Structure 1
Amino acid sequence: MPHTPIPPLRRANAKRMRKAMTDAELKLWNAIRAHRLEGLGFRRQVPIAGYIVDFACPDERLIVELDGSQHAEDQALRYDAARTARLEADGWIVLRFWNDDVLTDLDHVCLHILTVIGRGR
């Protein structure tokens, strides 16, 4: 499947976001980077289908999004739903976790990721 062209400004924004990760993003990244989670290869702040996703595992067509409290507002919920629908239409599985879930129960978050792709206990 061909890649959706990424405008230079969006690509630069993804690069900037990789350098300014939230505490939750950094905690999850340290758990999944370098194939630490059952050998899965994740990338962070990846441009996909015109969006920048928090984490992507291309081999499993899996996207992991971490959401702060601003994602609970009506407008953000609608935007996230449209974004998820677009990514799923392209064959991606999209998982969303609250930042607090990652910060307080990282093991459960990682287990849920593995369960969704069929590698959980």
Structure 2
Amino acid sequence: MKPNIVPKNGDMLPRARELRREMTPQERKLWYQFLRRYPVKIYKQRIIESFIADFYCSRAQLVIELDGAQHTTEQGLLYDRERSSIFSQYGLDVLRFSNYEVDLQFEAVCEKIHQTIQSRL
């Protein structure tokens, strides 16, 4: 699959850098225990338009999002739908996992990410 060109809002760069330095415990766990050494390049806190995706795999056109409790509110769900809609305009698929899943079902989360990336290459 040939990656699409995904525009980024350069004004978001300071915030993306801040989020890279201050990852949540679940983002840190997924990054250091799985994604960082994954054989296909994955970026953390990647700017896509005016949004910052938790993790992004350009080759597989995949966004990986880890969701805390704020994502279960009505406002959070609406915001996530808007983001996913924007991402899909660029051919990106979005995988969402709750922090709970990363904490308690880590191997299953990693396997789902692996299977999705392999199926999209």
**Structure 1-normalised TM-score?**
0.88
Residue number in structure 1 paired with 2:85:
85
Runs of 4+ residues deviating >6 angstroms:
none
Runs of 5+ unmatched residues, structure 1:
none
Instruction: Provide closer, same or farther for how the CA distance between residues 78 and 42 of structure 1 changes in structure 2, counting only shifts above 3 A.
Output: same
Give the corresponding residue for 1:108. Answer: 108
| Corresponding residue for residue 12 of structure 1 | 14
What is the distance in 1 between the residues matched to 2:112 and 2:65? 13
CA distance in 2, matches of 1:12, 1:118: 32
2:35, 2:8 → 1: CA distance? 27
- Cα distance in 1 for partners of 2:45, 2:8 equals 16
The answer for the alignment partner of 1:96 in structure 2 is 96
* Alignment size in residue pairs: 115
Q: Report % sequence identity.
A: 34
- Bigger relative contact order, structure 1 or 2, given CA contacts below 8 A and separation 6+? 2
What value does the CA root-mean-square deviation take over the aligned residues?
Answer: 1.4
TM-score, length-scaled by structure 2: 0.88
2:31 to 29, 46, 60: 29
Q: Deviations over 1:49-70 (max 9, x none)?
A: 2210000011111110000011
Distance 1:106 1:42 in 2: 18
Q: What is the one-letter code of the residue matched to 2:93?
A: I
